[in-house]
Structure 1
Amino acid sequence: MDVLNAMRVFIQVADAGNFTRAAEQLDASLPTITRVISQLEAHLNVRLFQRTTRRISLTDAGTTYLEGCLRAVELIDETESQVVSLNKDLRGRLRVVAGSSTAFSHMVPVVSDFVRQYPAIRIDFFTMDNVFSLVDEGVDVAILADYLIPSDSVVARRLITHSYVMVAAPRYLSGAASLSKPLDLKRLCFLGRPADQRGTTLRLRETGKDEDDVIELTPNVVCNNAKVLQELTLSGCGFSILPRQFVQQAISDGTLVRLLPDYRLQNSDVDICVVYQSRKRNSRIASVFVEHVLSALGSPVKYVQES
Structure 2
Amino acid sequence: MDKLTAITTFRHVAELGSFAAAARRMALSPAAISKNIRALEEHLGAQLINRTTRRMSLTEAGTAYHKSVVRVLDRLAVADQSVSEMKARPSGHLRVSAPLTFSLTQLTDRIPEFLAAYPDVTLDLSLEDRIVNIVEEGYDVAIRASARLEDSSLMAKKLMSMHHVVCAAPAYLAKHGTPESPTDLGGHEMVAFSLSTHSAEWPFTRGREAVRVPVQGRYKVSSSIAIKHALTGGFGIGIIPEIYVRDELKTGTLTRLLTDWQGPEHPVYAIYPERRFETAKLRAFLDWLGDVLREG
TM-score clears 0.5 = yes
How much has 1:148 moved relative to structure 2? 6.8
Q: Which residue of 2 aligns with 1:262?
A: 260
Cα–Cα, structure 1 residues 232 and 152, in superposed 2: closer, same or farther, change >3 Å? farther
Provide the TM-score with structure 2 as the length reference.
0.60
Supply the distance in 2 between the matched residues of 1:137 and 1:243 (Cα, whole angstroms).
29
In our comparison, the structure showing a higher alpha carbon Rg is 1
SS at match of 2:139: coil
Q: Which residue of 2 aligns with 1:275?
A: 271
How much has 1:223 moved relative to structure 2? 2.1
SS at match of 2:158: strand
Cα–Cα, structure 1 residues 151 and 292, in superposed 2: closer, same or farther, change >3 Å? same
Q: Which residue of 2 aligns with 1:5?
A: none
Supply the distance in 1 between the matched residues of 2:198 and 2:204 (Cα, whole angstroms).
20
Residue by residue over 1:132-176, the C-alpha shift from the partner in whole angstroms, topping out at 9 and shown as x without a partner, is 311344322222113474427311111111211011122332332
Q: Which residue of 1 aligns with 2:160?
A: 160
Query: Where do 1:146-295 residues align within 5 Å?
Result: 146-147=146-147, 149-151=149-151, 153-195=153-195, 200-205=200-205, 210-265=208-263, 268-280=264-276, 283-295=279-291
Alignment: residue pair count: 210
Supply the distance in 2 between the matched residues of 1:219 and 1:139 (Cα, whole angstroms).
37
Provide the TM-score with structure 1 as the length reference.
0.58
In 2, are the aligned partners of 1:163 and 1:244 still within 8 Å (CA)?
A: yes
Give the counterpart letter for 1:180 in structure 2: E
In 1, are the aligned partners of 2:193 and 2:221 still within 8 Å (CA)?
A: yes
Q: Which residue of 1 aligns with 2:113?
A: 113
Runs of 5+ consecutive residues of structure 1 not aligned to the other structure: 1-82, 299-307
Cα–Cα, structure 1 residues 138 and 230, in superposed 2: closer, same or farther, change >3 Å? farther
Cα–Cα, structure 1 residues 211 and 281, in superposed 2: closer, same or farther, change >3 Å? closer
Cα–Cα, structure 1 residues 146 and 178, in superposed 2: closer, same or farther, change >3 Å? closer
Q: Which residue of 2 aligns with 1:61?
A: none
Supply the distance in 1 between the matched residues of 2:208 and 2:183 (Cα, whole angstroms).
18
How much has 1:86 moved relative to structure 2? 3.8
In 2, are the aligned partners of 1:160 and 1:297 still within 8 Å (CA)?
A: yes
Cα–Cα, structure 1 residues 92 and 280, in superposed 2: closer, same or farther, change >3 Å? closer
Give the counterpart letter for 1:135 in structure 2: V
Give the counterpart letter for 1:161 in structure 2: S
In 2, are the aligned partners of 1:205 and 1:211 still within 8 Å (CA)?
A: yes
Supply the distance in 2 between the matched residues of 1:218 and 1:156 (Cα, whole angstroms).
34
SS at match of 2:159: strand
Supply the distance in 1 between the matched residues of 2:231 and 2:147 (Cα, whole angstroms).
23
Q: Which residue of 1 aligns with 2:127?
A: 127
- Identity of matched residues, %: 22
Supply the distance in 2 between the matched residues of 1:131 and 1:152 (Cα, whole angstroms).
15
Supply the distance in 1 between the matched residues of 2:93 and 2:276 (Cα, whole angstroms).
18
Runs of 5+ consecutive residues of structure 2 not aligned to the other structure: 1-84
SS at match of 1:167: strand
Supply the distance in 1 between the matched residues of 2:272 and 2:197 (Cα, whole angstroms).
28
Supply the distance in 2 between the matched residues of 1:198 and 1:248 (Cα, whole angstroms).
21
How much has 1:188 moved relative to structure 2? 2.0
How much has 1:131 moved relative to structure 2? 2.5
How much has 1:292 moved relative to structure 2? 2.6
In 1, are the aligned partners of 2:96 and 2:139 still within 8 Å (CA)?
A: yes
Residue by residue over 1:106-146, the C-alpha shift from the partner in whole angstroms, topping out at 9 and shown as x without a partner, is 31354222111123432222322232311344322222113
Q: Aligned Cα RMSD in Å?
A: 3.1
Supply the distance in 2 between the matched residues of 1:188 and 1:146 (Cα, whole angstroms).
27
Cα–Cα, structure 1 residues 101 and 180, in superposed 2: closer, same or farther, change >3 Å? same
